[in-house]
Amino acid sequence: MQKRKLGKSNLEVSALGLGCMGMSFAYGPTPDKQEMISLIRTAVERGITFFDTAEAYGPFVNEELVGEALAPIRDQVVIATKFGFKFGPKGEQMGQDSRPEHIKQVAEASLKRLKVEAIDLFYQHRVDTDVPIEDVAGAVKELIQEGKVKHFGLSEAGAQTIRRAHAVQPVAAVQSEYSLWWRRPEEALFPTLEELGIGFVPFSPLGKGFLTGKIDANTKFDKNDFRNIVPRFTPDARKANQTLVDLLGQFAKQKKATPAQIALAWLLAQKPWIVPIPGTTKLARLDENIGAVNVELTPDDLREIESAALKIKVQGDRYPEELEKRTYR
């Protein structure tokens, strides 16, 4: 497995990470815990060293799962988790909370659940407009000084917020959705990250599964699947967006690869400081995703994909309106 550095932070990780959210949250029935522990450990055997979780996934149970799975091999891996929400007695989400005192409480709880001495990468999950980002960065800076956190990250933040945070405590990585069907980060985010030397971690690099080519207009999702409320996943949108999957399929045939591998190889080819974190609960899919690292897209291939993709208008918003409001602030 190739390695990459997240910007100038010296945080070196495998070129592909593993997003662990779906192992206990968001995509229908919860998979068997022991099977997921086995999958995470297999990912390490295959060379993956970067694992992404959050207190909000579950809440709490995903961190516990990741902590248990990686405890025997802690020294070989980098674990990223997130703060920024508050939860009720039954685990229900009750809005955002990035007050410094809350960040510190979350850090203590995450350390225990993850079974670690220090959190490798601690992201603010969403920008909290009630708390100045300087205060957030300052709280994480103190945690870094105390040895409880190693690196600071932001998720779905806007360029100006990133600059303000970075001035207080260097930001190692910014996480945001990015793929051939959601390219907004290229506009204001990439120039900012390049200038400041910050790494970029795309989540949903396979368009929440759509870019694998395994989902079409007739696919039925489980009643608890988050995609049921995503405008981009209505049957009409899926039908319209099939053109993008067909494009990936054409290149997949040429390269003796799969659409998912082309989608990931395209991401890896954009910048050397990009580390996608596709999530999966299946071993075959894990191996398929890892295979993307060895797919070579030439400059001509990339130009061809670019010119074809520019002609495709993706249908449907990527989030319901209420969730989209929390991004790029």
What does the pLDDT look like over 100-116, one tens digit per residue?
999 999 999 999 999 99
Q: Look up residue 196 and give its amino acid.
A: L
Fold designation for 3-324? TIM Barrel (3.20.20)
Cα–Cα distance measured from residue 7 to residue 312, given in angstroms and rounded to the nearest whole number: 31
| The one catalytic residue among 27, 57, 319, 328 | 57
Q: How confident is the model over 138-167, as a mean pLDDT?
A: 98
Q: Does pLDDT of 81 surpass 90? A: yes
Q: What is the mean pLDDT of residues 78-89?
A: 97
Distance (Å, whole) CA 248 – CA 119: 37
Q: What is the pLDDT of residue 158?
A: 98
Give the mean model confidence (pLDDT) for residues 159-167. Answer: 98
The CA distance from 258 to 245, in Å, is 10
Q: What is the pLDDT of residues 11-42, one digit of tens each?
A: 999 999 999 999 998 888 899 999 999 999 99
β-bridge partners, 12? 5
Encoded tokens for 24: 């206990």
What digits encode the pLDDT tens for the residues 261-276? 999 999 999 999 999 9
pLDDT of residue 26: 86
Residue 150 CA: distances (Å) to CA of 107, 140, 328? 12, 9, 24
Alpha-carbon distance 20 to 109, whole Å? 18
Q: How confident is the model over 273-293, as pLDDT tens digits?
A: 999 999 999 999 999 999 999
Distances (CA, A) of 181 to 194, 257, 291: 22, 19, 21
Length of the chain: 329
Confidence of residue 298 (pLDDT cuts 50, 70, 90): very high
Q: What is the pLDDT of residue 33?
A: 96
The predicted-structure confidence for 166-206, as pLDDT tens digits, reads as follows 999 999 999 999 999 999 999 999 999 999 999 999 999 99
For the chain, the domains span 3-324
Q: What is the structure's pLDDT at 28? A: 83
When pLDDT is averaged across residues 154-171 and rounded to a whole number, the result is: 98
pTM for the full model? 0.97
- What integer is the mean pLDDT of 85-101? 95
Is 57 an active-site residue?
Answer: yes
Q: Are strands 12-14 and 78-83 parallel, antiparallel or unpaired?
A: unpaired
Residue 55: the pLDDT is 98
Neighbours of 132 (CB within 10 A): 15
CA nearest neighbour of 18 among 277, 192, 208: 277
Q: How confident is the model at residue 258 (pLDDT cuts 50, 70, 90)?
A: very high
